[in-house]
Structure 1
């Protein structure tokens, strides 16, 4: 997917990018590849692959959660890495107020430089672990309209890391690949225990050649407060996931 194919694919979904926004994506790609030479941000570096598997893939969240396109939501991206999906969403929908959480300070520094270079405002960068970012007593706990996570962990783990940051009445949007049904079966009990309720899954495909790659976007509504003992201390959610609770 080259830049013009990227622009057209989004237009097919009713999302029209300006020339200025396209220039921001072009600069994003340039800085990503430059920085990746000395900091491991992504294994995907070819322009057509970045536009498809990072930029376009990030923006598919707006297909599953249309409020992203028009509302001034507070969005928290847990484990954003090189800024996906939150910064492509911010570029496309500048009314979003974005908070990015990552445990590696080098990535946070890259994102700070990137936001400065792209002229992005309303982006807040937090160097922290997901388990402590929205723990009991944190000012970030249950503060966000929408929490996102992409390629971070299994859904049963993600629920414990992300739902504590979502406000009641908000939601958690998980970007998953093809094995989502098994993950959902395993995670539903934990999601309910954490104050969430699965609202639905949007299935789509990335227009790769040959064939297509399946993607699943799981929307989980935050319907009740998360019990204060969650999330558990760093490392525990992954080692002892809330299975069969």
Structure 2
């Protein structure tokens, strides 16, 4: 069981961009946005350089501009994006002891570049980043954003994760993978863990009710070679929104049966339709008693 962290100490729970009378939103100027981002990150133990806050602001301007043509995000408000996208994306860096100093990071289902681009900006040039996005218009935006932000070592693949996980160039190559707002845990581990090397890590971003979902999917995680190694609760600076981070370690090679063909992980999830027993024909991992001995709780599925 991981230690619990609380990022709510950055400041008040409302700020520029909050709703005022008539539903109007207050615009946030660049300098104020960057300072709030810096302070919010600092409350989580993450130091942001002026160059990093500038690049993250530039990325947000690109997202807003492209959002007129491509559905990249439902968030339109500057202040809301600061918390819901940027500080949220950076949460794993509050646990920097869990990160190697360099490597390959894979963002599965990157969308507008969250969390992969903010992580690359802060981690720096010692990290290569692969942004995986199956929707070609979104992938084209990611290519443009990486170029305009001058982010070296960033590659974009407009491909299904299920296909990429069977590609020998990428299978079990990543040191770290991240998956945010993508799917239920048993679905996303089938997307992401085949890309992670043995000994590597997968960071899973989840909302307030995530613990029940995770408890129901432990054996599904084992089936693709992983073990749930930690969980942390955060309150996001400024908004107070609750987030959970789950760390999955890649303990064994992913069996050759995974990932299954495109669409099947979501259509027939490993933990079953309601997160119960795994569907017929999928492997079960060891029984949950080993998990209890490791202090991370038990769970069926």
User: TM-score per shorter chain, which class?
Assistant: over 0.9
Q: Identify which of structures 1 and 2 has the higher relative contact order when contacts are C-alpha pairs closer than 8 Å and 6+ apart.
A: 2
1:44 maps to which residue? Answer: 75
1:190 maps to which residue? Answer: 220
- Partners of 1:64 and 1:79 in 2: CA distance: 22
Task: Measure how far apart 1:207 and its partner are.
Answer: 2.8
- Partners of 2:130 and 2:63 in 1: CA distance: 19
**Structure 1 residues 182-240: Cα deviation after superposition (integer angstroms, max 9, x where no partner):** 1112210111111101101011011344xx21101100000000000101001111111
**Structure 1 residues 12-49: Cα deviation after superposition (integer angstroms, max 9, x where no partner):** 33322222222111211111101101111001011111
- Partners of 1:167 and 1:144 in 2: CA distance: 6
- Equivalent pair of 1:146/1:171 in contact (CA under 8 Å): yes
- Partners of 2:211 and 2:56 in 1: CA distance: 33
**Structure 1 residues 56-89: Cα deviation after superposition (integer angstroms, max 9, x where no partner):** 1000021245444x61121001000000101001
Higher share of residues assigned strand: 1
- Equivalent pair of 1:64/1:202 in contact (CA under 8 Å): no
**Structure 1 residues 99-155: Cα deviation after superposition (integer angstroms, max 9, x where no partner):** 0101011111111111111111010111110111112x5310000001110000000
- Equivalent pair of 1:150/1:174 in contact (CA under 8 Å): yes
TM-score, normalising length from structure 1? 0.94
- For the pair 1:201 / 2:244, whether they are aligned, the reply is no
Consecutive unaligned residues of structure 2, counting only runs of 5 or more, are 1-14, 16-32, 272-276, 278-283, 285-301
2:38 maps to which residue? Answer: 7
- For the pair 1:237 / 2:265, whether they are aligned, the reply is yes
- Equivalent pair of 1:64/1:217 in contact (CA under 8 Å): no
- Equivalent pair of 2:43/2:237 in contact (CA under 8 Å): no
- Partners of 2:154 and 2:98 in 1: CA distance: 18
- Partners of 1:216 and 1:16 in 2: CA distance: 21
Consecutive unaligned residues of structure 1, counting only runs of 5 or more, are none
Pairwise mapping of residues 1-245 of structure 1 onto structure 2 (< 5 A)? 2-64=33-95, 66-68=97-99, 71-94=101-124, 95-135=126-166, 137-209=167-239, 212-243=240-271, 244=277, 245=284
SS in 1 for 2:113: coil
Aligned CA-pair RMSD:
1.4
TM-score, normalising length from structure 2? 0.77
Segment drifting more, 78-87 vs 198-207: 198-207
SS in 2 for 1:60: helix
Task: Measure how far apart 1:172 and its partner are.
Answer: 0.8
Task: Measure how far apart 1:11 and its partner are.
Answer: 2.1
Q: 1:66 to 1:58 in 2, by over 3 A?
A: farther
